[in-house]
Structure 1
Amino acid sequence: MFRLCFQTTFVQSRSLAVLQKEISSHLKRIGFYDVKGARHFAIKSGDDQTERIYYGPLTPQIKAVKVFSLSSSVAGLVAQPIILNEAATIGSTSLLVAICSVVGFFTFVTPILLHQITKKYVTEVNYDPTNKTYRAITYNFFIAEKQHEFKAEDVVVPDIPGMFTTMVAKGKPLFVEARHFSDPMHYAKMMGYDKPMDFKLGDPESSK
C-alpha cells in the first residue's frame, strides 16, 4: 500500500513537472513574439514623423458646403437645356432672361464665390521636427487637399491683413485661429512673436 501511494505521488509530481516545463516554454515563445512585435510597431516611417499641431474646426462644414455647391452646379448644368426649352415655349423674353440669370448664378457664380472665401482656410497644419517645416493643407476648387510647405522664416504677417488672412506663407495667404493650436509656441513662431519687437518708429536719419 505504501509503495502504491509512493508510486502515484511520484507519477503526479513528474507529470506536474513536465506540464510546468511546457507552460514555461510556451510563455517564453509568447514573450519573444510580443517583444518582436513591439519592436516592429515602434518603427516609424518618414511620413509618420510629422505631427498634427492644428485642426480647423470648420473643416467638416466647409467640405459639406462645397460638396453641396458643386453637386448643385452639376445638376444645374444637366437641367439647363430642359429649363431653356420649357422657358422658350412660353414665349416671354423677360422670363427667359430671368430664368437664365437665376440658373447661371447658382450654377457658376456660387461655387466660384464660395471658393474665393474658403480657399485660404487651413484645415490642418502638420509639423516635421527633423526639417523644422510646416505643412498647411487647404481645399482647392474641386475639394482636393492642397499642401503648402513652409518654414517659420517664410511667414510674413501683413500690417493690414486682408479678409480671412492671418499670415502669408511664401506668397500664399492663409487663415488660421490661434486657439486651435495644440502647442501655442508653434503659432508664436509662425507669427514672429519670438522675434524682437519692431515698433516701426521710422529711420532716425530720415526724420532729421
Structure 2
Amino acid sequence: MLRVLHKTINIKQRCFSQTLFNHLETSQYVKLNQISLSRNFSTKLNEDNQLERIYYGPLTPQIKGVKFFSLGSSIAGLIAQPILIKEASTIGSTSLLIAICSVVGFFTFVTPILLHIITKKYVTEVHYDAATSTYTATTFNFFLVRKKISFKPDDVEVPDIPGMFTTMFAKGKPLFIEARHFDDPLHYAKIMGYDKPIDFKLGETDNEDIKK
C-alpha cells in the first residue's frame, strides 16, 4: 500500500513539475516575443520620428483642388470629344467643328499643362532630418502625385535675380518657398545660405590695372 501511494505521489509531482515547466516556458516565450515586438515597434517609431516637418505651404489645399478639377475635366473632355466631333460633323459646318475642337482641346490639354508649369515649383512641405542634416522638399507632379527631393544646404543655389515662382535651386531643380511659413526661421536662413559670411567683393581687378 505504501509503495502504491509513493508511486502515485511521484507521478503527481512529475506531472505538476512538467506542467509548471511548460507554463514557465510558455510565459517566458510570450515575454520574449513581447520584448522583441516592442523593440521592433519602437525602432519603426524612431525611424518615422526622425523627420520633422518644418514648413507647410498654405496654398497646398487650393493647388490640390485645382489640379484635381483640371485632371477630372481633362478626362471628361477626352471621353466627350469623339461624341462632340460626331455631333458637330452632322451639322456640316467646318467653322463650328473647328471652334468646338479648339475649345475642348484647350480645356483638355492646355489648361492642365499651364497649371503644372505654374505649380510644379511650389513646395508643399519641407521635412528635416537632424541626424543627417538633410532637408526633404515635397512637390506635386503632373498627375498630382507627391514628389520628394532631398538636399543639403550646400546643394542649394540662390539666383541673383529670382525667376517667376522660383526662390532657389536645389540640386538644379527650381523650388518656391516662403520664409514666413517656416516654423523656425533659422532653417530658412540655413537653406538660403544667410548664415554664411557675406562676400563684399565688388569685382575682380586685373593684374594690368594693379601694375598701372
- Please tell me the TM-score bracket, short chain as reference: 0.7 to 0.9
Relative distance call for 1:98 and 1:207 in structure 2 (3 A) is farther
- Residue identity opposite 1:106 in structure 2: F
- Residue identity opposite 2:135 in structure 1: Y
- Residue identity opposite 1:81 in structure 2: P
- Residue identity opposite 2:133 in structure 1: K
SS in 2 for 1:204: coil
Corresponding position of 1:102: 103
Is 1:184 matched with 2:185?
yes
Moved segments of 4+, more than 4 Å: 39-43
Larger displacement relative to structure 2 (151-160 or 198-207): 198-207
- Residue identity opposite 2:52 in structure 1: E
Number of positions where the alignment pairs a residue of Structure 1 with one of Structure 2: 171
5+ long unaligned stretches in structure 1: 1-35
Corresponding position of 1:146: 147
Relative distance call for 1:207 and 1:179 in structure 2 (3 A) is farther
Q: Percent identity?
A: 71
Counterparts of 2:127 and 2:117, CA distance in 1? 24
Corresponding position of 1:125: 126
Counterparts of 1:198 and 1:67, CA distance in 2? 45
Deviations 1:107-145 (A, max 9, x none): 000001100000000000000000000000000000000
Task: Report the Cα offset of residue 163 of structure 1.
Answer: 0.5
Q: TM-score, normalised by structure 1?
A: 0.78
Is 1:63 matched with 2:91?
no
Task: Report the Cα offset of residue 198 of structure 1.
Answer: 1.9
- Residue identity opposite 2:68 in structure 1: V
SS in 1 for 2:46: coil
Task: Report the Cα offset of residue 42 of structure 1.
Answer: 6.7
Counterparts of 2:199 and 2:96, CA distance in 1? 61
Counterparts of 2:91 and 2:169, CA distance in 1? 53
Task: Report the Cα offset of residue 151 of structure 1.
Answer: 0.1
Relative distance call for 1:106 and 1:206 in structure 2 (3 A) is farther
Q: TM-score, normalised by structure 2?
A: 0.77
Counterparts of 2:137 and 2:160, CA distance in 1? 22
Task: Report the Cα offset of residue 181 of structure 1.
Answer: 0.1
